[in-house]
Amino acid sequence: MFFLLFTFLLQLSILTSSQSFIGVNYGQVADNLPAPEATAKLLQTTSIGKVRMYGADPAIIRALANTGIGIVIGAANGDIPALASDPNYATQWVNSNVLAYPDSEIIVVTVGNEVMNAVDQSLVPLCLPAMQNVQNALNAASLGGKVKVSTVHSMAVLASSDPPSSATFNSGFSDTMRALLKFHSENGSPFMINPYPFFAYQSDTRPETLAFCLFQPNAGRVDSGNGIKYMNMFDAQVDAVRSALNAMGFKDIEIVVAETGWAYNGGPNEAGTSVDNAKAYNGNLINHLRSKVGTQLMPGKSVDTYIFALYDENLKPGAGSEKFFGLFKPDLSMTYDVGLSKNSQTSTTPTTPTTPTTPATPTTPTTPATPSPVQAAGWCVPKQGVSDAELQSNLDYVCSQGLDCGPLQPGGACFEPNTVISHATYAMNLLYQTAGKNPWNCDFRQTATLTSSNPSKFLSSVANFSSRLLKFIWFLHAW
C-alpha cells in the first residue's frame, strides 16, 4: 500500500512540475499583450518548462530570470548579414542579449527563422557563417557548452515526407544542408523544425485525416518503405525529419520541434479552425509527450516541443487563423484547457497515447489504410482575390529557384494566355509538383491553395474568354 501511494505521489509530482520537453512560443505581434512580469507569473503556474522568443526582448528575458524556465532567443533574419560578415558584431550581439542576463536561463540562440525557404534567398549561404560567429562568441565567453546555436526550418526543407522512411532534404539545399548539419553535429546543437498537422489537414479534410492529425482513434497509416504503422501525423512528420537526417549520415543530431499548434478560429474557408480541434490537438499532443512513448523511429523519449503559441497575436498578417493560435488570452485566462495548469491537471480529449507498432516484415509492406494528405491534392493554384503584385512576386520567386520557367517565355508552350495569373499559376504549381507535393509547398505566404481540379482547364477558359473579349472590343472599335 505504501509503495503504491509513493508511486502515485511520484507520478503526480512529475506531472505537475515544469516539464522540460514542453515549451511554448511567445510571439509579440500584438498590441494587447500583458506585461512580461505577469506572463512570467502565469508560466510558473503551468508545467511549461521552456519559452521560445522570436527576438531578444530585454523585458521578457529579465522577467523570466530566476524562474527556472529555459529561454530560446532569436536573431532576426535581418541580422544575418552583419552576424555573418563581422565577428565583432556577433560578439556585441552575444554580449547584449546573452551575457547581460546572467540570472536568466538562456539555452538556445536561433539565427534566423525559416531562412532556407525565405523570399530573400541571399540569406541562405550566410546563415551558417552567422551561426559560426555566434558560436565563437559564446565559446569565447565560456558559454559554448551551455547555450546552443541553431536555426529554425519549415517542413519545406524536405523534398518529400511520404512515406516518412523515404524523406530526404530538398536537393537544392544539399551542400548547404550538409555543412549546416556538420555544424550541429560538432557543437551538439539541435535541428529545429516546424511541423504542422494543421496545414496538412487543410489539404485533405476527410474525417479520417482529421482524426489522424488530432491523435484521435483512427485506422493508422503504414509506411510502405518499412511497414511501420503511424497513428498520428505529428509522429509521421517528425520521423520524416529523422529519416532525412539519417540519410545524410547524421544520426546523432537531436530534433527539436520549434513550432506546432492548431488555430481555434480563422477565415470562412479555413478548414478545421475550431476550439474543439485546437483543444484536441494541443491537449493530445501534450498527453503524448508526457507518455514519453516517443515516435516510431525515436521510441522511449519525448521530443522537445514548443507549442504555438502562448497568446493570440491580433496584428499578425496573413490568413485569419494566424491571429488565433493562443493558449491564453491577454487577461491571462485560458482560451481552452489542455491540462497545463499545475493546479488542475485535467485530461483533454480522451484518447490513449499511441504506442509505436512493431514493423511488419519489410519484404511485404502493408498499404496505408488511407492515403497520406500529401497524396490527396493534385494541383497548387492562387487563392481568389490575390493581387497581381503578389502573384508576380510568387512567379519571380519560383523562377529564381532554378526551376524551368522557359515555357512561360515568349514563344513558349505556356506563354499564352500572357497574363500574370496564368504565368503565376503555372509557376506555383511547378514548385509544388517538383518539391514533392507537400501541403507546405503550396503556401506562398497564404496566397495559394490546393485543388483537385486541373488548373489547365481554368486557364484554358481564361484564354478563351480573353480571346472572345478582344474580338468583341475589336468589333466595337471597327463599328
CATH at residue 403: 1.20.58
pLDDT for 353 equals 36
Pick the catalytic residue from 105, 114, 313, 322. 114
Q: Assess if residue 388 is contained within a domain.
A: yes
Q: Is the CA virtual torsion 271, 443, 209, 313 positive or negative?
A: negative
The confidence score (pLDDT) of residue 432 equals 81
- Tell me if 358 is assigned to some domain: no
Residue 469 predicted with pLDDT over 60: no
One DSSP character per residue, 146-171 reads TSEEEEEEEGGGEEE-SSGGG-EE-G
Parent domain of 140: 18-323
385 and 272 in a single domain? The answer is: no
Instruction: Say which residues have a Cβ less than 8 Å from residue 317's Cβ, sequence separation at least 6.
Output: none
Same structural domain for residues 108 and 180? yes
Residue 23 has pLDDT above 80, yes or no: yes
What cell was used for 423? 504565368
Residue 13 has pLDDT above 50, yes or no: no
Based on the fold, state whether residues 385 and 270 are members of the same structural domain.
no
Mean pLDDT of the chain: 85
- Does one domain contain both 290 and 384? no
In tens, the pLDDT along 420-434 reads 999 999 988 888 887
Grid coordinates standing for 149? 546555436
Pair 221, 312 in one domain: yes
Is the residue at 2 inside a domain? no
Domain boundary among 308, 323, 338: 323
What is the structure's pLDDT at 3?
Answer: 39
| Confidence label for 438 from pLDDT (cuts 50, 70 and 90) | low
Dist CA 281 CA 212 (whole Å)? 10
Identify whether 4 is part of a domain.
no
Each residue of 331-374: pLDDT tens digit? 999 999 999 998 754 444 434 333 333 333 333 333 333 333 33
- Per-residue pLDDT band for 396 (boundaries 50, 70, 90) equals confident
Domain endpoint, select from 323, 346, 361: 323
Q: Is the pLDDT of residue 439 over 90?
A: no
Q: Strand, helix or coil at 48?
A: strand
Residue 42 cell numbers, joined: 502565469
Give the mean pLDDT of 254-280.
Answer: 96
Alpha helices by DSSP H, 50-123: 58-63, 80-85, 87-94
- Is the pTM for the entire model greater than 0.85? no
- Residue 318 shares a structural domain with residue 384: no
Vertex 114: Cα angle to 127 and 242 (nearest 5)? 95
Beta bridge partners of 191: 255
Residue 333 is assigned to a structural domain of this protein: no
Q: Report, as an integer, the average pLDDT of 172-181.
A: 93
- pLDDT tens sequence across 86-116: 999 999 999 999 999 999 999 999 999 999 9
Asked whether residue 308 falls in the same domain as residue 438, the answer is: no
Tell me how far apart the terminal alpha carbons of the chain are, to the nearest angstrom. 101
The verdict on 36 and 176 lying in the same domain is: yes
For the segment 142-170, what is each residue's pLDDT rounded down to a tens digit?
A: 999 899 999 999 999 999 898 999 999 99
Task: Write out pLDDT tens, residues 293-320.
Answer: 999 999 999 999 999 999 999 999 999 9
pLDDT value of position 51 = 98
Co-location of 300 and 402 in the same domain: no
Specify whether the backbone of 97 is left (phi greater than 0), alpha (psi in -120 to 50) or beta.
alpha
Query: Which of 293, 323, 353 finishes a domain?
Result: 323
In a domain, 370, yes or no: no
> 182 vs 112, 136, 188, 219, 248, CA distance in Å?
18, 16, 10, 39, 10
Over residues 109-142, the pLDDT tens digits come to: 999 999 998 889 999 999 999 999 999 999 999 9
List residues bridging with 381 in a β-sheet.
449
Q: Which residue has the higher pLDDT, 312 or 15?
A: 312
Look-up of cell digits 486541373? 454
Is there a single domain that holds both residue 382 and residue 447? yes
More confident residue, 321 or 160: 321
259 belongs to the catalytic site? yes
Statement to judge: residues 171 and 252 lie in one domain? yes
Is 361 inside any structural domain? no
Total domains present in the chain: 2
Selected residue with higher pLDDT from 80 and 402: 80
Residue among 37, 105, 254, 259 flagged as catalytic: 259
Is residue 348 in some structural domain? Answer: no
Cβ atoms of residues 131 and 151 within 8 Å: yes
The CATH number for 171's domain is 3.20.20.80
For residues 199 and 91, membership in a common domain is answered with yes
